[in-house]
Amino acid sequence: MAFPAVQVRAGARGVRCDLSTGGHAFVADEVAPLGTGAGPSPFDLLLSSLGACTAMTLRVYSDRKEWPLEGVQVDVSRDLAAAADGGTGQDHVFRRTITLSGPLDAGQKQKLLEIAGKCPVHRVLEKSLKIETTLA
C-alpha cells in the first residue's frame, strides 16, 4: 500500500529545507550555527508527528465511544540514554505526556492511555523500520 510522498528540497547553502506533501508546504531548519531557525528541526517534526497522531487517535476513539473528551494536549520530548544493548551508542527515548480535559472517569482515562500506544505513528516508531534508499 502506497501513501502520499513528501518532497524535500535543500538549496545550495545552509540546511533549510522546503517540504511539501498533499498540497501543504512548510519548512524544516536547524538553529544556529547550522541553520537560521526558519522552521522546526527534523527531530521536532518527528516528535510533532507522534504528538499529533496521538491526539487524533484519542479524539477519534473518544468520539466513537461518545465520551466527554473536551480536549487533548500531548507534550513530547526526547532524551538520549545509554544503549539498552550495553553497546557504546545511545538510544533515543521519547517521553509523551498526555493531558485530557473533560469529565472523564478513571476507567475512560485509563483506556485512552492504552489507546495512545496504538496510534499508527507510535506503532511505526516502536518497531524497527526498513528504509530503502536509491539515487534518482
Give the C-alpha separation, 57 to 5, whole Å.
22
Q: Is the pLDDT of residue 25 over 90?
A: yes
**Would you give the end-to-end CA distance of the chain in angstroms?**
21
Report the half-sphere exposure of 64 (CA within 13 A, side-chain side): 8
Question: CB 109: neighbour CB atoms within 10 A?
Answer: 15
Residue 94: per-residue pLDDT: 93
Give the C-alpha separation, 86 to 75, whole Å.
29
Which of 65 and 84 is assigned the larger pLDDT? 65
Span 37-77, pLDDT tens digits: 999 999 999 999 999 999 999 999 999 999 999 999 999 99
Q: Is the pLDDT of residue 128 over 80?
A: no
Residue 92: per-residue pLDDT: 83
Give the C-alpha separation, 46 to 121, whole Å.
9
Residue 12: per-residue pLDDT: 86
Q: What CA–CA distances, in Å, run from 116 to 45, 50, 63, 112?
A: 19, 10, 14, 6
**Residue 98 — very low, low, confident or very high, per pLDDT cuts 50/70/90?**
very high
Helix (H) or strand (E) holding 10: strand 7-10
- Predicted structure pTM score: 0.88
Q: Is the pLDDT of residue 1 over 80?
A: no
| No. of helices (H) and no. of strands (E), the chain | 3, 5
